[in-house]
């Protein structure tokens, strides 16, 4: 049995098709990422799988159960961090864990859970005095109280600084190593590349691409290319003196040469050298998941902090 089987799932709000007939499955032990711009339908889809929202069409099986009909049974077996997780202000993470254990009627060692989410040092700090990262770790801690086999993490790292994000990644990797199945949403594509075995990119309620990051880049990307920082005149010279396709990005002052074979790069550079003109930095690169994402959801609204926070992205802009 697959932990998650979603077939032709639909959810409408009036005329708005928030989730418009999507299908996917998630395997046991997999970290599966739902990506997409604001309003794509990620949270709607997650909350339907959690049994918190009713669907309008399609089939959903989570751990073999219909989440809407068998919500109570399902909630014993899943862990959840909702988007914008928050908790009672004057409660400490340790107290929150004890409170949740009571709700689930389970016996837990709060300190062990705090250790698991790297939160021992802030165990006794009131929720309203925790940093953003510590708050999210509290959410993770609470999602683990009932020892779930399946976790839903809706934007667990949004708004966190790069170190805090990495700390959460470490916790998620630890959970994966224990064999937990994890559904995760994020606006950080480097995070998806780091953590997810497979991702689905949603846009306007539909899945527009699905697979490993590499598969998606391969399918929707434009292959390897050489980029030379230089003038349009130089681009024209290379074009005239080789049989290569040469494009020019005036905004970035970049000559772009798609490489059918890697050796084509040599011909392009030889021509550049021969021209006697100046040229600057060179690099070869392939589309990143970011490039492909932006192409697939173009026209959609992108958060400014989404495009900034890419510590692994060394491209020039």
Ligand X SMILES: Nc1ncnc2c1ncn2[C@@H]1O[C@H](COP(=O)(O)OP(=O)(O)OP(=O)(O)O)[C@@H](O)[C@H]1O
Q: Which residues bind ligand X (CB under 6 A)?
A: 13, 16, 18, 36, 38-44, 83
- Return the number of the residue (73 or 83) whose C-beta is nearest Mg ion: 83
Pairing of strands 78-81, 150-154: parallel
Partner whose binding site includes residue 3, from Mg ion, ligand X, none (CB under 5 to 8 Å by kind):
none
Burial (CB count <10 Å: 0-12, 13-18, 19+), residue 46: buried
- In this structure, the chain runs to a length of 317
Distance CA 134, CA 122 (A): 8
What lies within 8 Å, CB to CB, of 97 at 6+ separation is 108, 110, 113, 114, 141, 142, 145
* Segment contacting Mg ion by CB under 5 A, of 41-49, 73-81, 132-140, 227-235: 41-49
Q: Does 300 bind Mg ion (CB under 5 A)?
A: no
Partner whose binding site includes residue 39, from Mg ion, ligand X, none (CB under 5 to 8 Å by kind):
ligand X
Residues facing 203 on adjacent strands: 206
**Looking only at Cα atoms, what is the longest distance across the chain?**
77
For CA atoms 68, 149, 190, 61, the dihedral sign is negative
| CB of 39 vs ligand X, minimal distance in Å | 4
| CB of 151 vs ligand X, minimal distance in Å | 17
Count CA within 13 A, CB hemisphere, residue 55.
27
Distance CA 89, CA 87 (A): 6
Residues facing 68 on adjacent strands: none
Partner whose binding site includes residue 38, from ligand X, Mg ion, none (CB under 5 to 8 Å by kind):
ligand X
Q: Does 52 bind Mg ion (CB under 5 A)?
A: no
Q: Can you state the angle between helices 289-296 and 213-220, rounded to 10 degrees? A: 60
- Return the number of the residue (42 or 165) whose C-beta is nearest ligand X: 42
Q: Does 92 bind Mg ion (CB under 5 A)?
A: no
Tell me which residue of 132, 56, 134 sits closest to 92, measured CA to CA. Answer: 134
Partner whose binding site includes residue 137, from Mg ion, ligand X, none (CB under 5 to 8 Å by kind):
none
- Return the number of the residue (43 or 146) whose C-beta is nearest Mg ion: 43
- Return the number of the residue (40 or 78) whose C-beta is nearest ligand X: 40
- Return the number of the residue (34 or 150) whose C-beta is nearest ligand X: 34
* Residue from the set 70, 83, 241, 242 that interacts with Mg ion by CB under 5 A: 83
Residues facing 4 on adjacent strands: 26, 62
- Return the number of the residue (87 or 188) whose C-beta is nearest ligand X: 188
Count CA within 13 A, CB hemisphere, residue 148.
28
- Return the number of the residue (20 or 291) whose C-beta is nearest ligand X: 20
Q: Does 158 bind Mg ion (CB under 5 A)?
A: no
* Residue from the set 33, 35, 43, 164 that interacts with Mg ion by CB under 5 A: 43
| CB of 93 vs ligand X, minimal distance in Å | 25
* Segment contacting Mg ion by CB under 5 A, of 39-47, 91-99, 163-171, 205-213: 39-47
- Return the number of the residue (41 or 51) whose C-beta is nearest ligand X: 41
DSSP symbol at 263: T
Distance CA 139, CA 164 (A): 14
| CB of 4 vs ligand X, minimal distance in Å | 17
Q: Binding residues for Mg ion, per CB under 5 A?
A: 42-43, 83
């Amino acid at each position: 049995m697959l932990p998650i089987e979603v077939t032709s799932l639909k959810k409408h709000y009036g005329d708005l098709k928030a989730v418009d007939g999507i299908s996917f499955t998630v395997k046991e032990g997999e970290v599966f990422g739902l990506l997409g711009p604001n309003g794509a339908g990620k949270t709607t889809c997650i909350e339907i799988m959690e049994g918190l929202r009713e669907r309008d069409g399609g089939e959903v099986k989570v751990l073999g159960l219909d989440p809407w009909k068998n919500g109570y049974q399902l909630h014993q077996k899943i862990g959840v961090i909702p988007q914008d997780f928050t908790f009672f202000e004057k409660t400490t993470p340790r107290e929150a864990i004890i409170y949740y254990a009571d709700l689930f009627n389970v016996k837990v060692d709060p300190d062990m859970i705090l250790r698991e989410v790297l939160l021992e040092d802030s165990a006794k700090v009131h929720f309203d005095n925790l940093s953003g990262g510590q708050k999210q770790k509290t959410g993770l801690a609470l999602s683990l109280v009932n020892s779930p086999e399946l976790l839903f993490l809706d934007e667990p790292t949004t708004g966190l600084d790069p170190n805090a994000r990495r700390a959460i990644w470490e916790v998620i990797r630890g959970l994966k190593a224990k064999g937990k199945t994890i559904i995760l949403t994020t606006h950080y594509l480097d995070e998806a590349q780091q953590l997810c075995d497979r991702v689905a990119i949603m846009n306007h309620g539909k899945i527009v691409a699905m697979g490993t990051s590499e598969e998606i880049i391969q399918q929707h990307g434009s292959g390897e290319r050489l980029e030379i920082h230089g003038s349009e005149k130089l681009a024209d010279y290379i074009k005239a003196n080789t049989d290569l396709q040469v494009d020019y990005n005036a905004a970035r002052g970049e000559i772009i040469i798609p490489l059918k074979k890697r050796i084509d790069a040599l011909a392009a550079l030889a021509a550049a050298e021969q021209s006697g003109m100046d040229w600057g930095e060179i690099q070869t690169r392939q589309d990143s998941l970011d490039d492909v994402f932006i192409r697939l959801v173009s026209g959609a609204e992108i958060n400014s902090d989404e495009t900034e926070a890419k510590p692994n992205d060394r491209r020039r802009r």
